Structure 1
Amino acid sequence: MDSKLNRRSLFKSAMLGLTTFIAVPKAFAAACAVSPEPAGKKVAKNKERLDYVVNADDAKGNAKYKAGDNCANCKFYKADAGTPGYGKCPMMANKYVSACGWCKSYAKKA
């Protein structure tokens, strides 16, 4: 076997390194980033009702919480184009909730 690095093996190594460089940060970026509260809107606060939390990661101690559950993928969440990262929730008296939030009324969207 020739120990010299030829052009083909160099290209393969470069592509593997580039793929790893691109793929790894995406895996770490999977966590939701909570947006700033929309001004002038009624926004639900942590533990206001239904054990609501602005960041679903804070619900890990709740027995009903499962990794990946958040308001953005709940059937009750109503996204609002005028308030990025927030939407209305009928379970929270139609207050705005964070897309990254969670409460014990969570029900996965069908």
Structure 2
Amino acid sequence: MKRRDFFKTALMSVSTFVAAREAFAAACKVGAAPAGKKVAKNKSRLDYVLNAADAKGNKKYKAGSTCANCKWYKKAKETGGYAPCPMMANKYVSACGWCKSWKKA
């Protein structure tokens, strides 16, 4: 592989990654909380935030981790982008949210 081809491939890979990350960030919008449901408060003892992008300052946060891809998020009971979480006393959390109890599903 020529040096020029290597750099073209590397640049295309980086730009694809950046575009995919921006598309995910744009796709994850925090909507209105479901009416009549107990909703977790922002900044609980588990450092819960409504939008995972706000958790970047937390040392346990890993890029791409959200409540939607967490083991504890009860997707079967999801209502309008919110679902109950046993780590938050079964209060509803945002699919775009994050807390330090996050575990890969």
Aligned-pair identity in percent equals 71
SS of 1:97 mapped into structure 2: strand
Structure 1 unaligned regions, length at least 5: 1-22
Aligned residue-pair number: 84
CA distance in 1, matches of 2:95, 2:68: 4
For normalisation by structure 1, the TM-score amounts to 0.71
Q: 1:68 matched to which residue of 2?
A: 64
Determine if the alignment matches structure 1 residue 30 to structure 2 residue 24. yes
CA distance in 2, matches of 1:56, 1:100: 6
For normalisation by structure 2, the TM-score amounts to 0.74
RMSD over aligned Cα atoms = 1.5
**Which one of 76, 86, 90 corresponds to residue 90 of structure 1?**
86
CA distance in 2, matches of 1:33, 1:67: 16
Measure how far apart 1:49 and its partner are. 2.6
Point out the structure with the larger helix share: 2
CA distance in 2, matches of 1:42, 1:54: 14
Q: 1:7 matched to which residue of 2?
A: none
Per-residue CA deviation, residues 27-54 of structure 1 (Å, 9 max, x unaligned), is 3321111121111110001112300001
Q: 1:101 matched to which residue of 2?
A: 97
Structure 2 unaligned regions, length at least 5: 1-15
